[in-house]
Amino acid sequence: MTERILHRFPGGFHPEQHKSESNATPIRMAGMPAQLVIPLKQHIGATAEVMVKVGERVLRNQRLAKADGYVSAPLHTPTSGVVTAIEERAVPHPSGLYAPCIVLSPDGLDEAMQAFEPWADFGSVSPLLLRERVRDAGVVGLGGAVFPSAVKLAGTPGTPIHTVLLNGAECEPYITCDDRLMRERADEVLRGGQILLHVLGAQTCLVGVEDNKPEAIAALRAALMALGDARFEIVPIPTLYPSGAEKQLIYILTGEKISRERRVTERGFLGHNVATAAAIYRAVVLGEPVTRRVVTLTGSGVQAPGNWDVPLGMLASDLIAQAGGYQPDVARLVFGGPMGGFALATDEVPVTKAANCLLALAAKDAPVEPLPMPCIRCGKCAEGCPVELQPQQMLWDARAGDFERAEKQDSLFECIECGICSAVCPSHIPLVQYFRYAKTEIWQREREHEKSSLARERFEFRNTRIERDKQEREAMLAQKRAQLAAQKVSESPASGVSAGGVSVSGAAPDDKQRAIAEAMARAKARKEAAQAEKQAAPSQDEGTSA
């Protein structure tokens, strides 16, 4: 086989790796804590719908909540126990958000139920059923994006997928959960890849792994040898952040640059994280829903860095206590990696499907935000930008409040918020923060614009309705006047010329009937109009509350 030619994406950054702290020891099973807090929304999309009641006993693998809509994911319990509360609890979120959670008291028996029928011979199962299984098992992107995997597998009609990418780049510093997973469960990852190939009818599976993980690459190669599947290729890629960003990875492996406007599926690619692939394997072949994940607990702020197989819903504080606790000088706790993750205000938040890493930093490694100096337009940010933007220009426009320019001229929405610009800025300007701010401002304005145009539409409709009513009324009056005039005209000659007595008496009941029918029609129209308005009213309420 010919050597694959790799492509270097523009920009990029070499942060300090800090992988060795946590990747030397095998994944350890976290003990079951006294309490699990399971947020109903651990994925992109609609919040899951609760299926259990407070006081109910549940078994391991039992469904706690079902997917609410197409883009959503169900939740399952990691152990047996009793639901003690369904209430708002602190969840991992940059703002310290409280969100609905199911609180569970494990009973220590760990009684399980078989959630799904295991399909060891998945090749004989139809793609449709497999996709449903992936959906029912609550599989979402475990690389941190937590997008429901089944939605991705549905693909776009008319654009077949030829290549599945298994993303094992793990380019963020400190994080090693995928590294350990690939070393220890390489077979699960590759078999998950086989399921993906089968579901999508794709021909090739590329497994991209940064070359700072030689053991993982060796483990994958060994597993592939055993599997003997010629459709797979394990590709070591140069270590350069953010090689794990989907479009950057596709470019590295294939040389195809795909802009933000296009989905990768349009070009026949589909990417999944290696941990997601392993979860898909477990869901299909073992019939297990997603109830645990591997979490890297690391940083200079913890006693014993390492990787843990953690039940979803375990509080970070419990996990850290189990792992030996903090260093005395711990100063910051980050959810996710140091480049793209966010700082937690408290450790009493649960581990969710998104939690690939909990990073505790000692004071020396937790940079306090220095006083930002003015931008000198040195261009370091532009040099580092993996999507070829001009962050210094975006900063200028975002700060000036010229969001239209930031969007149109500077292509603000191409920004993938990788954090390189902030990291390399010699003036220590929190650039990414400005870009997030500008994006939310633009979204907010769009929403307001939509609202105001809706209100204008409604107002215009009301005006035309009033106008129409007026015209109808006038038309009716005119008709009546014409009728009266006609009556007068017909009456006067009738009395004088012919014996019109019969015709007059014959016309009178007709007129009456017509008047009654018209009145009834008017009443009906009024009623209908009122009803239509009533129907319009709730949507208006929704509009204002949304």
Partner 1 sequence: MRFPTTTSPHVAPANALSQLMRQVLLALIPGSMAAIYFFGWGVLINILLSVAAGLLSEALMLALRGRPLKPFLSDGSVIVSAWLLAVCLPPLAPWWLPVVGISFAVVFAKHLYGGLGYNLFNPAMVGYAVLLVSFPKEMTQWGLPHSLAEHPLGLGESLALVFGGALPPGVAWDGLSGATPLNLYKTELGQGLSWDAMTQAAMFTPWGGIGWQWMALAWLLGGLWLLWQKVITWRIPVSILFTFTVLSLGFHLYDPVHFAPPLFHLLSGGLMLGAFFIATDPVSAATTARGQLIFGAGIGVLVFVIRGFAGFPDGVAFAVLLMNIAAPLIDHYTPAKPFGRHKP
Complex with partner 1: residue 218 or 362, whichever CB lies closer: 362
Eight-class DSSP state of 122: G
Q: How far is CA 482 from the centre of its chain?
A: 66
Minimal distance, residue 72 CB to partner 1, in Å: 27
Contact 341, 334 (CB under 8 A): yes
Complex with partner 1: residue 158 or 374, whichever CB lies closer: 374
Q: Which residues, 6 or more positions from 402, have their beta carbon under 8 angstroms from its beta carbon? A: none
Complex with partner 1: residue 157 or 370, whichever CB lies closer: 370
Applying CB under 8 A, what is the total number of residues that bind partner 1? 73
Map residues 346-365 to x or -, x wherever contact with partner 1 holds by CB under 8 A: xx-----------x-x---x
Complex with partner 1: residue 45 or 419, whichever CB lies closer: 419
Complex with partner 1: residue 216 or 438, whichever CB lies closer: 438
Q: Which of 176, 419, 438, 439 binds partner 1 (CB under 8 A)?
A: 419
The bridge status of strand 357-362 relative to strand 292-298 is parallel
Complex with partner 1: residue 198 or 405, whichever CB lies closer: 405
The bridge status of strand 28-29 relative to strand 269-273 is unpaired
Minimal distance, residue 451 CB to partner 1, in Å: 30
CA distance 298 to 203: 38
Complex with partner 1: residue 81 or 305, whichever CB lies closer: 305
Please give the residues from 277 up to 306 whose contact with partner 1 meets the rule CB under 8 A. Answer: none
Complex with partner 1: residue 106 or 173, whichever CB lies closer: 173
Cis bond leading into 118, ω under 30°? no
Complex with partner 1: residue 13 or 119, whichever CB lies closer: 13
| CA distance readout (Å), 370 to 66, 359, 426 | 45, 21, 11
Complex with partner 1: residue 112 or 258, whichever CB lies closer: 258
Minimal distance, residue 275 CB to partner 1, in Å: 22
Which range touches partner 1 (CB under 8 A), out of 191-199, 251-259, 493-501, 507-515? 251-259
CA distance 439 to 419: 15
Complex with partner 1: residue 342 or 461, whichever CB lies closer: 342
Map residues 80-99 to x or -, x wherever contact with partner 1 holds by CB under 8 A: --------------x-x---
CA distance 364 to 250: 36
Q: DSSP of 485-518, one letter per residue? A: HHHHHHHHHHHHTS-THHHHHHHHHHHHHHHHHH
CA distance 155 to 182: 26
Which range touches partner 1 (CB under 8 A), out of 13-21, 123-131, 146-154, 157-165? 13-21
Please give the residues from 423 up to 442 whose contact with partner 1 meets the rule CB under 8 A. Answer: 423-428, 430, 432-433
Q: Which of 260, 512, 524, 527 binds partner 1 (CB under 8 A)?
A: 260
Q: Which of 7, 15, 28, 218 binds partner 1 (CB under 8 A)?
A: 15
Q: Using alpha carbons, select from 408, 388, 143, 145 the residue that is nearest to residue 257.
A: 388
Q: Which of 339, 349, 358, 398 binds partner 1 (CB under 8 A)?
A: 339
Name the amino acid, one letter, at 200: L
Minimal distance, residue 209 CB to partner 1, in Å: 22
Minimal distance, residue 334 CB to partner 1, in Å: 5
CA distance 205 to 106: 40
Q: DSSP of 258-310, one letter per residue? A: --TTS-GGGGTEEEEEHHHHHHHHIIIII-----EEEEEEESTTBSS-EEEEE
Q: Which of 64, 312, 344, 354 binds partner 1 (CB under 8 A)?
A: 344
Minimal distance, residue 313 CB to partner 1, in Å: 19
Q: Using alpha carbons, select from 265, 231, 278, 271 the residue that is nearest to residue 249.
A: 271
Return the structure tokens found at 426: 């010699």
Q: Which of 105, 317, 327, 487 binds partner 1 (CB under 8 A)?
A: 317
Please give the residues from 128 up to 157 whose contact with partner 1 meets the rule CB under 8 A. Answer: none
Minimal distance, residue 296 CB to partner 1, in Å: 14
Contact 70, 328 (CB under 8 A): no
Return the structure tokens found at 46: 């609609």
Q: How far is CA 389 from the centre of its chain?
A: 24
Please give the residues from 161 up to 180 whose contact with partner 1 meets the rule CB under 8 A. Answer: 173
Q: Which residues, 6 or more positions from 529, have their beta carbon under 8 angstroms from its beta carbon? A: 465
CA distance 290 to 282: 8
Please give the residues from 368 up to 407 whose contact with partner 1 meets the rule CB under 8 A. Answer: 368-371, 373-380, 382-383, 386-390, 392-393
Q: Is residue 509 exposed (0-12), middle (13-18) or buried (19+ Cβ within 10 Å)?
A: exposed
Name the amino acid, one letter, at 380: K
- Under the criterion CB under 8 A, does residue 463 sit at the interface with partner 1? no
Please, what's the largest Cα pairwise distance for the chain?
A: 119
Minimal distance, residue 397 CB to partner 1, in Å: 11
Answer positive or negative: Cα dihedral of 246, 247, 248, 250: positive
Which range touches partner 1 (CB under 8 A), out of 106-114, 421-429, 448-456, 459-467? 421-429
Angle 213-216-217 from CA coordinates, rounded to 5°: 85
Q: Which of 39, 244, 341, 350 binds partner 1 (CB under 8 A)?
A: 341
Eight-class DSSP state of 95: T
Minimal distance, residue 13 CB to partner 1, in Å: 8
Please give the residues from 184 up to 243 whose contact with partner 1 meets the rule CB under 8 A. Answer: none
Minimal distance, residue 19 CB to partner 1, in Å: 14
Which range touches partner 1 (CB under 8 A), out of 30-38, 197-205, 222-230, 327-335? 327-335
